[in-house]
Amino acid sequence: MTSTVRSDPTVVEVSLGARSYEIVIGRGIIAALGTRIAALRPGAKVFIVTDDNVARYVLADALAVLAEAGVAVHRAIVPAGEASKSFSVFEQVCEAIIAARMERGDLVIALGGGVIGDLAGFAAAVVRRGLDYVQVPTTLLAQVDSSVGGKTAIDSALGKNLIGAFHQPILVLADTALLDTLPDREFRAGYAEVAKYGLLGDAGFFAWLEANWRDIFSGDASGSSAREHAVAMCCGAKAAIVARDERETGDRALLNLGHTFGHALEAACGFSDRLLHGEAIAIGMALALEFSARRQGLVSKPEAARATRHLADVGLPTRMHDIPGELPSVDQLMDLIAQDKKVKRGMLTFILVRDIGAAFVEAGVDAREVRTFLSEKLAER
């Protein structure tokens, strides 16, 4: 897929002092990948990590623009899907980077969705004690969330993203034209993270999404400006939070709205296509909203229902019973929640909501209360 590069991309800066970097957002901007890499690291080689699905659609274009800019390229292509965030695939990628004789001044490029960004970023964090890397996210979820902020990881058998490092990229290049090739289910799953930004901190943006989501989903030119606006709004919100709290000791935890429930559901489903990450987060956010609505002084039931209705309107699952197949037990879910990275000294931490656009971190949540709530939701039909 070749697309004409826009001359006026949107640029969002992640302000981290000497480690600051740009998120460049626009339609067709992958055409500028080679010139941007050559300008950032003159004379550097690059090592592209991608998956076999993305490679079919995007790799040839990326290789062509890098070659045109005189950039030498090595690459590794891994299987598509969450299963590639494993020790075995991580080892293969690391060994391939080393075998290519990549030096400390060279670059890794993560060309793909969230799985590739996490995997390639983690490999870059540890090979030769740290290589710089560039994120070229190819899914909506990666463009609005996982490519920004420097969280890199692989999965453990006991939970998602439990083995990793904070390692910031030096550039994020988010070409919205790449989203045209996404299957509808993948695009919807990514939209869950878009809605998250409105729910956690921007009521006006959430209202805009309610009115404009069809344009974001549209694959024609009329929808591209809405897509770019949505991506830019999410990236701007995340950049501001990361600049305040890079290593998630405070505000950055807000970005995990829906993730405590969602990650447990993902793990219970074996990190498989049975439940995509964004689908799990949609259910997790609906659960977090309802859990909040049960608590005095938090979001009202009508507002919680409004938010959940919007997720359902775009075609996302919002109930555990929307997951195909046998559901996990409450014991299994509680065991998985206990592995959540926000747990402190055995006490559960949740991101709850006072109102749409007003999320907050609630530490010390009673596990018995969570167990009772999940038992009730599993019993629903």
Q: Please say which residue of 138, 160, 180 terminates a domain.
A: 180
Same domain, 114 and 16: yes
Same domain, 253 and 224: yes
**What's the whole-model pTM score?**
0.92
Question: Quick one: what percent of the chain has pLDDT higher than 90?
Answer: 89
Same domain, 242 and 93: no
CATH number at residue 110: 3.40.50.1970
**Confidence at 344, pLDDT banded by 50, 70, 90:** confident
pLDDT in tens, 226-281: 999 999 999 999 999 999 999 988 899 999 999 999 999 999 999 899 999 999 99
Length of the chain: 381
| 3 is a domain residue | no
Q: Inform me whether the pLDDT recorded for 94 exceeds 60.
A: yes
Mean pLDDT of 19-40: 96
Same domain, 111 and 255: no
Same domain, 54 and 189: no
Mean pLDDT of 203-222: 88
Same domain, 276 and 370: yes
Runs of H (alpha helix) within the chain:
33-40, 52-54, 60-68, 87-99, 114-126, 140-141, 184-201, 203-217, 221-244, 259-268, 277-293, 301-313, 330-337, 367-379
pLDDT of residue 263: 94
> Any idea which residues carry the catalytic annotation?
129, 151, 193, 238, 248, 252, 256, 259, 263, 277
Q: Inform me whether the pLDDT recorded for 19 exceeds 50.
A: yes
Mean pLDDT of 318-328: 96
Q: Inform me whether the pLDDT recorded for 51 exceeds 70.
A: yes
The CA distances from residue 250 to 20, 148, 351, 354, in Å, are: 20, 17, 12, 17
Same domain, 192 and 259: yes
Q: Inform me whether the pLDDT recorded for 373 exceeds 90.
A: yes
Q: Provide the domain limits for residue 261.
A: 185-379
pLDDT of residue 7: 52
pLDDT of residue 168: 98
Q: Which two tokens stand for residue 250?
A: 């405070």
CATH number at residue 277: 1.20.1090.10
Mean pLDDT of 337-348: 79
Quick one: which of 254, 253, 283, 289 has its CA closest to 268?
Answer: 283
Same domain, 156 and 234: no
